[in-house]
Amino acid sequence: MDFFSSLLKKTVLVNMKVLIIGSGGREHALAWKLSKSSLVEKLFIAPGNPGTAEVGKNVAIPAEDIEGLKEFAKKEGIGLTIVGPELPLTLGIVDSFTREGLRAFGPTKRAAELEGSKVFSKDLMLKHNIPTAHYKKFDNPDFARSYIDTHNPPFVVKADGLAAGKGVVICHTREEAYTAVDLIMKQKAFGVAGKRIIVEEFLTGEEASFLAITDGKTVVPLAPAQDHKAIFDGDKGPNTGGMGAYSPTPVITPELEAEIMKTVMIPTVKAMELEGRPYKGVLYAGLMISGGKPKVLEFNCRFGDPETQPILMRLEDDLLELLMAAIEGRLQGVRLKWSEKAAVCVVMSSRGYPGEYLKGTEIHGLKEAAKLDNVVVFHAGTALKAGKVVTSGGRVLGVTALGDGIQEAIERAYEAAGKISWEGAYYRRDIGKKALK
């Protein structure tokens, strides 16, 4: 059944005001896509960035200021609020908006614990037979060290709570695992997120990101993508929030997509309902694919960043209609239409990220890059200073391109990235190369 026929037979959407919460590349991509919808009357982004200001109106309210955002939504008559980052979701922004009769896209506070607590997530998967790595949970560093003493490396040590994508440490030796435990639990590198940890087996294979939209009953898959977490080429160095992504990904065949839906996505939505935490919004599974079988590395409860950038470049349907169908429980029968083209996103970061890095450096070449066909430069960590666009974060830009196949998309994205410069600009040179194998 065609997406639009299944949807429009059941509802007539009027033009509405839309609010996007967040300020990163994901939020710029959402704003860019929604700005193309004929159903959007006015688009606000809080707090936004210089890129979102080109497609909507920025509002100077922080993403965590739930009361401020709620009052703004009421005053402006916002028809739909889309929550980008995980923190406001775990703080209960959807619950707060819903109590005021405001529509917000995303899971409730209790449902967002699927990302907010790795302990909750792993326990849920174990209980409901959702494939994942073997693990142990600890709230005492000495007990964690004793466990490491009696098991063979490699290990993966994870902070329980939110750590901006950086709370996962891959440890090839026991000594590295001891150091990771101390870093998270004793030195409190990630604050309260490290009060509890997971020590789990190291899975081998190929990583992929699988995102879906769910109304709590029906699960509609988005185009699969592959993220590149490590800072350096060849997946070396510490993990980041993501240094690039591409879609589609050859590792997820139609057969494997069906397997992921059957063994991971649908069972997880059903499990959350059984636990009294009905899940609506984006369900994002970070997967390890080995021997044609998926295992869950982690769940996220929002659009991925940078996966959203190439995914939305390929989506041919109206994003507002899709999100409203999810909120109103109308996803049954929906099939999405995707461009045959491939999309590649290269993240340009500040040198030193994910550690210390400089801010406030002027960025050159944005207009030149934007002139290229089938290229969009999504702003992530940028700000305006004296009328000039400057760096303000670790991940600064997501240079995203469409092409006839992965090779052409890679070439176009790197051509665009090559036109952009600032002091200390850095990006990986191998984004998408796995797909060429």
pTM beyond 0.85, yes or no: yes
User: What confidence score (pLDDT) does residue 163 get?
Assistant: 86
Report the alpha-carbon distance of residue 386 to residue 374 in Å, rounded.
Answer: 30
User: What confidence score (pLDDT) does residue 125 get?
Assistant: 98
CATH class belonging to 342-436: alpha beta
Backbone angles phi, psi at 333, to 5 degrees: 90, -5
Per-chain mean pLDDT for the chain: 95
User: What confidence score (pLDDT) does residue 238 get?
Assistant: 87
- pLDDT tens, residue by residue, 308-346: 999 999 999 999 999 999 999 999 999 999 999 999 999
pLDDT at 370 over 60: yes
Residue 106, amino acid: G
pLDDT at 10 over 80: no
Confidence of residue 403 (pLDDT cuts 50, 70, 90): very high
Spatial CA neighbour of 327 closest among 73, 94, 112, 105: 105
Confidence of residue 11 (pLDDT cuts 50, 70, 90): low
User: What confidence score (pLDDT) does residue 164 get?
Assistant: 74
With a pLDDT cut of 90, the percent of the chain lying above it is 92
Kindly report the number of other CB atoms within 10 A of residue 174's CB atom. 16
The mean per-residue pLDDT over the stretch 282-303 comes to 95
H helices, E strands: number in the chain: 16, 23
Residue ranges per structural domain of the chain: 16-106, 134-201, 204-327, 342-436
pLDDT at 90 over 60: yes
Confidence of residue 8 (pLDDT cuts 50, 70, 90): very low
User: What confidence score (pLDDT) does residue 5 get?
Assistant: 44
User: What confidence score (pLDDT) does residue 135 get?
Assistant: 96
Report the alpha-carbon distance of residue 414 to residue 401 in Å, rounded.
Answer: 9
Burial of 238 (0-12, 13-18, 19+ CB in 10 A): middle
The mean per-residue pLDDT over the stretch 219-248 comes to 94
pLDDT at 269 over 80: yes
Spatial CA neighbour of 51 closest among 376, 408, 432: 376
Report the alpha-carbon distance of residue 110 to residue 279 in Å, rounded.
Answer: 9
With a pLDDT cut of 70, the percent of the chain lying above it is 97
**Given 3.90.1150.10, 3.40.50.2300, 3.40.50.20, 3.10.20.600, which CATH number is that of 16-106?**
3.40.50.20
Question: Got the DSSP string for 200-245?
Answer: EEPP-SEEEEEEEEE-SS-EEEPPPBEE--EEEGGGEEEE-S-SEE
Please, how many CA atoms are within 13 Å of residue 418, restricted to the half-sphere of its CB?
8
Confidence of residue 166 (pLDDT cuts 50, 70, 90): confident
Topology annotation, domain 134-201: Dna Ligase; domain 1 (3.30.1490)
The mean per-residue pLDDT over the stretch 350-361 comes to 95
CA 356 to mean position of chain CA atoms = 23
Topology annotation, domain 204-327: D-amino Acid Aminotransferase; Chain A, domain 1 (3.30.470)
Report the alpha-carbon distance of residue 364 to residue 361 in Å, rounded.
Answer: 10
Identical fold between 134-201 and 204-327: no
Own/partner contacts of 96-101, CB < 8 Å, gap of 24 or more, are 96/66, 96/67, 96/70, 97/70, 97/73, 100/70, 100/74
User: What confidence score (pLDDT) does residue 1 get?
Assistant: 40
User: What confidence score (pLDDT) does residue 9 get?
Assistant: 43
User: What confidence score (pLDDT) does residue 239 get?
Assistant: 85
